[in-house]
Chain A
């Protein structure tokens, strides 16, 4: 995401090695989304050489659904040589971290055997030959479900964070929060136990200060 630009809309991302196809299907999907009054945006990219780049990219770009071409290893772009993986192998990699993000494949060869082997990893296998409004409905429904689930979890996350910060945490609260952090891909900034300790330490300091204050006051009285 560009710096300074405020995150306004969630996004659907298209990954395809062919610039022509990428562009056409991005525009087509955007048009359909507009017609349906959706606020979702569509972005596209040439496949990344380093597959790990996808993880940061998904978070940074606020991506809530992915559409991969299957044969990603054909074309090269602006000095970059073709990549060495296809859609059905990258989907397995993405699933390691994003268990339930909607992932689609949009391909010229929906019957490809590699693709069929991992079909359960996909929300749906879409054919480039026939990409219509109906298919956009499928994509939209998947996005909505993903957002709902994550929103529920986000609000729970918010609530728990507040509880813990105010020292009212009980029993499993910290564990639940950690699990949510993991699921929502929120990076661990500090250990929560430390925070609690820190608060206790902080309170101690205040008590010490108050004592000093009392001592000073009593000395002044003398």
Chain B
């Protein structure tokens, strides 16, 4: 190698004058020459830098491949083909698009220039797309995928040209980046996606071989769904289509699409135009099909938070103009009715796509809403919100919240109009500024809108789904009827056989038949008996459950009486032991002990007589004097302890019925009234009223239970008969629930069994709840 300036100049001269230019040697010599510059020197870049930038800074091969697809998008491609072949000796990743391609100049001056991005010069593509990558990193991301890169590109100006890069050449110590040659190729053919069936005049094809790592089914699946997320599911960029082909998971070799959105329950769109206080909401659901539009002041929905926790008072949301689309899904069979999907497919789709993503210029900003991202998936904290208050929708709008896995959402922003929402220095995510907090509040507020809308339509949905099940006794009757038909049929066969004179062979034939008939008869009878017993059991169980519920409520009072009984007796003893004995006080204490021992005894007898055998038989009985008055008498002491006046009114009437059923209904309703009264201070009263009433030409009677409690909030009315639903909370308003949520469920089921009706309204006099039970009179 030449060492002096003159030597280098001489060598250079020789090289330049030779017929065949040796570019590599000329470059090396000029480099040596430039080192002799005493006034200026230059940085040189180690070839390995590229390896660091490409291979090491990109998280995984899916991300690397996505970068290439993003480049296709930026190049205004309408179609992109993504191929991944790595099985059976195959070794290829190919991304081909029909974008605008690169000219010779562009390829050499732009593409080969690391860190250069034309996207920095012009932010919008020819189609008006906002370019996605800005850092000029896509090309070196191919190093993450494989060692050999072949880039072919086609333009109208320069035709097809290409480059071949072997990334492994860069993975050496001490070489300057420009010392490594990249081969320029001039192929005659290029394989680009068609446009409307026509060969594309422009486009780029990237082929990567010597793949760095094998692709698993999971990788492909992830790639597929990442690609589907790359193109917004909301049809805003339907001109951008990706077709995936691979030999790892053939089920994902298809056009990337997101038709699952047809299965959503509720669709909400919220638009904030960037200034002022108004948000426009449009909500649609799959049941009522009507679209509802509402304008809401954002202050009614959300509070702006500053970094330091104070609130901002200006009229505008700092995030700038935002469009939000939310799709709410249920993971139920009903959700896929009328769509082409199976439930398992929908669930899988939701598992992968759930979350609310931010789309800047129609390309997703990671990590927000990506299910695979640890921090990004639930960036709105919906899961922790739900965990704090896991109430289901039946609890009413105050507490119902949806879970993040039920939501798919898209937040649309642009780089140009949402300047405050800037990228954070790390590769993923936005800077958590006031603007970002406003955006998050805006989304959370919209989710609350969606939740209250769902609560408001919930009862309608439930009604449409509800199928009235026949009462168990009705079903049993049906079965009995069918059984007796079978029995009659068998009977007649038996008679037939008996009346006919049969030959011995016929006898031989008919005997087993007779035997089977007898057997079937026996089984039928047994079966009938079992059903009757089962029904009887239900009755006993309802009675016992009622007993349990009322014990839980009234039993507290008994506890007080038992304790006082014991303590007063003991205190009386103490008075008698002092010297001189305090007889007067001892007597007072003994009297108290007696009164309370009677209370305990009366509770005991009440509990013991609830499920007596005779109460389980259907018999004529005076509903007022024998049932209602007795229950009222039994429960009165318990009510009085809580200052509740309990009265029964109305006329005496007789009907054939199961005493235990009426008692179960009544005790349950009274237990509820007792709790309701205790929740309010002031005058407390419960009235049971009985009267005659005919409905639809059917003679009948009713009894009602009214109280002075708070009544039932109208939001809960649809749910009060549901099992485990309870509004019973502690008297002093603390959150603890003291109800079992079974009382009214039992009442409703008994009323159904008895062919009766149950209605609820507010008592005009006592102002609390009034439940009215109507039953046919027999």
On A, residues with C-beta under 8 Å from B are: 18, 20-21, 23-25, 27-28, 31, 34, 71, 73-76, 81-86, 89, 108-109, 113-114, 127-129, 131
Contact of A128 among B556, B567, B592, B730 (CB under 8 A): B567
**Cα A28 to Cα B577 with chains together (Å):** 13
B681's nearest neighbour on chain A, judged by CB, is A84
A contact residues around B678 at 8 Å (CB): 73-74
A109 and B556 contact, CB distance less than 8 A = yes
B732 and A114 contact, CB distance less than 8 A = yes
A85's nearest neighbour on chain B, judged by CB, is B732
A24 and B560 contact, CB distance less than 8 A = no
A131 and B567 contact, CB distance less than 8 A = yes
CB of B698 closer than 8 Å to a CB of A: no
**Cα A71 to Cα B596 with chains together (Å):** 18
**Cα A20 to Cα B596 with chains together (Å):** 10
A contact residues around B574 at 8 Å (CB): 28, 31
Known: A31-B574, A74-B641, A113-B736. A81 touches B683 (CB 8 A): yes
B681 and A82 contact, CB distance less than 8 A = yes
Tell me the minimal C-beta distance from B116 to chain A in angstroms: 65
CB of B302 closer than 8 Å to a CB of A: no
B575 and A31 contact, CB distance less than 8 A = yes
A69's nearest neighbour on chain B, judged by CB, is B560
Q: Which has the most chain A C-beta neighbours within 10 Å: B574, B643, B680? A: B643
Which 7 residue pairs of A and B lie closest in terms of their CB atoms, listed nearest first?
A76-B643, A84-B681, A128-B563, A74-B642, A28-B571, A108-B560, A129-B563
Known: A84-B732, A86-B731. A27 touches B571 (CB 8 A): yes
B contact residues around A81 at 8 Å (CB): 643, 681-684
A27 and B589 contact, CB distance less than 8 A = yes
**Cα A25 to Cα B568 with chains together (Å):** 8
B contact residues around A71 at 8 Å (CB): 556
Instruction: Count residues of chain B with CB under 8 A from any CB of chain A.
Output: 34
Q: 10 A-B contacts, Cβ less than 8 Å apart?
A: A18-B564, A24-B564, A24-B592, A31-B578, A75-B641, A82-B643, A86-B730, A108-B556, A108-B563, A114-B732
Tell me the minimal C-beta distance from A83 to chain B in angstroms: 6
Q: What 0/1 pattern do residues 680 to 700 of B give for CB contact below 8 A with A? A: 111110000000000000000
**Cα A102 to Cα B315 with chains together (Å):** 53
Contact of A18 among B560, B680, B682 (CB under 8 A): B560
CB of B559 closer than 8 Å to a CB of A: yes
A75 and B642 contact, CB distance less than 8 A = yes
A contact residues around B567 at 8 Å (CB): 24-25, 28, 128-129, 131
Chain B, 571-598, CB within 8 A of any chain A CB: 571, 574-575, 578, 585, 588-589, 592, 595-596
A24 and B568 contact, CB distance less than 8 A = yes
**Cα A27 to Cα B584 with chains together (Å):** 12
A contact residues around B683 at 8 Å (CB): 81
Chain B at the A interface: SS class: helix
**Cα A86 to Cα B729 with chains together (Å):** 14
Tell me the minimal C-beta distance from B86 to chain A in angstroms: 60
Tell me the minimal C-beta distance from A61 to chain B in angstroms: 23
B contact residues around A74 at 8 Å (CB): 641-643, 678
**Cα A128 to Cα B565 with chains together (Å):** 11
**Cα A83 to Cα B567 with chains together (Å):** 25
B contact residues around A89 at 8 Å (CB): 732
CB of B186 closer than 8 Å to a CB of A: no
**Cα A73 to Cα B684 with chains together (Å):** 12
A27 and B585 contact, CB distance less than 8 A = yes
**Cα A108 to Cα B570 with chains together (Å):** 16
CB of B566 closer than 8 Å to a CB of A: yes
Contact of A31 among B566, B568, B571 (CB under 8 A): B571
Q: Which has the most chain A C-beta neighbours within 10 Å: B589, B680, B681? A: B681
A contact residues around B732 at 8 Å (CB): 73, 84-86, 89, 114
A82 and B568 contact, CB distance less than 8 A = no
**Cα A25 to Cα B564 with chains together (Å):** 9
B559 and A109 contact, CB distance less than 8 A = yes
**Cα A114 to Cα B734 with chains together (Å):** 8
**Cα A131 to Cα B574 with chains together (Å):** 13
Contact of A24 among B562, B571, B680, B730 (CB under 8 A): B571
A129 and B575 contact, CB distance less than 8 A = no
Tell me the minimal C-beta distance from B598 to chain A in angstroms: 13
**Cα A71 to Cα B563 with chains together (Å):** 14
**Cα A89 to Cα B681 with chains together (Å):** 15
**Cα A23 to Cα B641 with chains together (Å):** 16
B contact residues around A127 at 8 Å (CB): 563
Known: A31-B574, A73-B678, A129-B566. A20 touches B592 (CB 8 A): yes
B571 and A21 contact, CB distance less than 8 A = no
A73 and B681 contact, CB distance less than 8 A = yes
A26's nearest neighbour on chain B, judged by CB, is B571
**Cα A128 to Cα B559 with chains together (Å):** 10
A contact residues around B559 at 8 Å (CB): 108-109
A114 and B736 contact, CB distance less than 8 A = yes
A82 and B563 contact, CB distance less than 8 A = no
**Cα A108 to Cα B734 with chains together (Å):** 19
B588's nearest neighbour on chain A, judged by CB, is A23
B contact residues around A21 at 8 Å (CB): 560, 564
A81's nearest neighbour on chain B, judged by CB, is B682
Tell me the minimal C-beta distance from B734 to chain A in angstroms: 6
A contact residues around B566 at 8 Å (CB): 129
**Cα A114 to Cα B737 with chains together (Å):** 11
**Cα A127 to Cα B564 with chains together (Å):** 11
For the A-B complex with A75-B641, A81-B681 known, give 7 more contacts whose Cβ atoms are closer than 8 Å: A73-B681, A74-B642, A74-B678, A81-B683, A82-B681, A84-B680, A114-B732
B contact residues around A75 at 8 Å (CB): 641-643
Tell me the minimal C-beta distance from A132 to chain B in angstroms: 9
B contact residues around A28 at 8 Å (CB): 567, 570-571, 574
Known: A73-B731, A74-B678. A128 touches B560 (CB 8 A): yes
